Amino acid sequence: MNIVDLRNRFIAVSKQEPVDSIELLHFAKLCYVRGDIQIVDYREVVKQLEQENNYTPEGLDQAKL
C-alpha cells in the first residue's frame, strides 16, 4: 500500500479529501486497528508520510533543530 491508495481509501470512506498528512496518519492507524490493513502496509504508509513531510511521531520538525 502507498499514500495514494490510502488517500483513495480515505476519500471513499469519508467522502472528502484529507486535510493534511496528519489526518492520513490517523486514518492509517484506524484502518490498522480495525484490521483493514496489515502491519506491513501500515508501517510502509507511515514511513512514506514521515519522509514526505519531515514529520516525526513527537511532532518535531527535525530540520528546525
Indicate whether 64 pLDDT > 60. no
Expressed as residue numbers, the domain containing 25 is 3-57
CA distance 6 to 42: 10
Tell me whether residue 64 is in a domain: no
Q: Which of 32, 34, 33, 22 minimizes the C-alpha distance to 1?
A: 32
Average pLDDT over residues 37-48: 94
Least-confidence region, from 8-17, 36-45, 55-64: 55-64
65 located within any domain: no
Q: Number of structural domains, the chain? A: 1
Q: What is the pLDDT of residues 11-27, one digit of tens each?
A: 999 999 999 888 999 99
In a domain, 62, yes or no: no
The percent of residues above 90 in pLDDT, for the chain, comes to 65
